[in-house]
Amino acid sequence: MLPQKLYTESSMSTASSNAMSAMTSTYSMNTMPMSSMNTCSPQAPAFGSSIMNSGMPMTTMNGNCMPSVQMQYSAIASSPISNMNARMSSTMSSVNGYGGVGGLSGRGDLSGGDISPNSALQRARADKTYRRSYTHAKPPYSYISLITMAIQNSPQKMLTLSEIYQFIMDLFPFYRQNQQRWQNSIRHSLSFNDCFVKVPRTPDKPGKGSFWSLHPDSGNMFENGCYLRRQKRFKDEKKEMQRASHKSPSHGGDTNSSGKKTPIHHGDDTHKSHHLDKTAESNLMLSIHPAAKLDVDQMNLLHHNDLNLHSQHHQQMGEELTGMLNHCHPLALNSDHQAMLHHGSMSHHLKQEPSGYTPSNHPFSITRLLPNESKADIKMYDMHYGYNSLSPLQNSVHAQASIGNDYYNNPLYHTPTGTTSL
DNA sequence: TGATGTTTATTAATAA
DNA sequence: TTATTAATAAACATCA
Ligand SMILES: [Mg+2]
């Protein structure tokens, strides 16, 4: 429906090529483990460590020294150009994804004088290379968290597969490469994980696949701040049962695993009965006998409508963490932006947030991207760091975080005071 | 026919 | 160490 930016994979990386596998399957720029400073040390983030530790003053570091994805991003995004040269040697070697960066060797600036006539050119190239080295590095998010971001940032809290693709590519240049590879993983993740459920299309929205939404009970799967590895993956009881019975038909009714423990999030059982009630209610409204059997997809549709109508269940989780997360999540985008993108939709105007989260502060919400007062911020940012936050590539009609408005180009993805933990 | 889903298998990284 | 989570590949089915 909306124009989508097409990302053609550069000749550098063939989709089917295995030549790049080493680069893409590893966390390219990682050098040192963060575990010492991190409660939740995920797979080594693709970003940061070498750069973070290259001697640059961490102006964004706040008192508690909480390490975070956000901070790592901040550190990178805010790295003064003046510091680039100093890091160039190590950076350059990182560009190919194999940061030999063991020990941020490039402390010393090569060529002390550096006043040659082509130094400007070299500098420009170096800067470009440097920036690409992180904008195209693998983001420190699992596919599950990326999908979750996409869905939760959508007005209807559901997206088609291709829209999920698009969201990810818009935000992370890294994923404009090797599309066949990671998109297969996305599809696998959607199918395999119970936290993602299909919502069938309604007749008024014909099209190819169905919509994907979040399981009503999946809660905040990332409230621990780890976006690479959850402590426990969400499992839908019913599907668990199905799987079990499918495997060993002898297992008929025993069902409930005594030790069944839902993740960390809260509010599971509470709205469980609530859900059933709502379903029955919906059935009545739709002239469906409450006892009538609906298939899974239909049920999901009803549930989704219900949730969308009343409130976002997902946002009532993790309130205890909001203080930490909601002010600083790396992907807190702006609702205005979203309004532009989906100008045809007005649903988000009507949404209320009875829980702790508002559309603007919950961890994955698109809010605060380019709010009014941010003009000044951008200016400051640009002046200080020499970034042009407004993309030079404006050809895209797509108002979303398309070209030039990706995670790295938008300073507001990196809140200076952020303390999102990772 | 290509996009969309489902499923199984393998492997690496991380948590317990 | 073992158990769990996630990434990746791949075979296969289905659908517009
Ligand atoms: Mg699923």
pLDDT confidence of residue A352 = 24
Taking the CA atoms of A156, A158, A163 and A165 in sequence, report the sign of the dihedral they define: positive
Average pLDDT along chain A: 56
Q: From the centroid of its chain, how far is CA A296?
A: 27
A225, A420 in Cβ contact below 8 A?
Answer: yes
A340, A366 in Cβ contact below 8 A?
Answer: no
Tallying the residues shown for chain A, one arrives at: 422
pLDDT confidence of residue A128 = 86
Name the nt closest to A198 by C-alpha to C1': B5
The structure tokens 């690409």 sit at: A132
Cα dihedral A180, A20, A403, A348 in deg (nearest 10): 50
Q: Please state the ipTM of this predicted complex.
A: 0.98
State the amino acid at position A270 in one-letter form. T
Q: How many angstroms is it from A271 CA to the middle of ligand 1?
A: 20
Distance in angstroms (rounded) separating the CA atoms of residues A198 and A211: 6
pLDDT confidence of residue A413 = 62
A416, A74 in Cβ contact below 8 A?
Answer: yes
Q: How many angstroms is it from A197 CA to the middle of ligand 1?
A: 5
Note if the pTM is more than 0.90: no
Q: List bases, strand B, within 7 Å of protein CB.
A: 2-9, 13-16
- Give kind and range of the element (H or E) at residue A158: strand A158-160
Distance in angstroms (rounded) separating the CA atoms of residues A409 and A345: 26
Q: Which residues of chain A have pLDDT under 50?
A: 1, 11-39, 41-114, 252-291, 310-332, 334-362, 365-402, 415-422
Residue nearest to nucleotide B4 (CA to C1'): A209
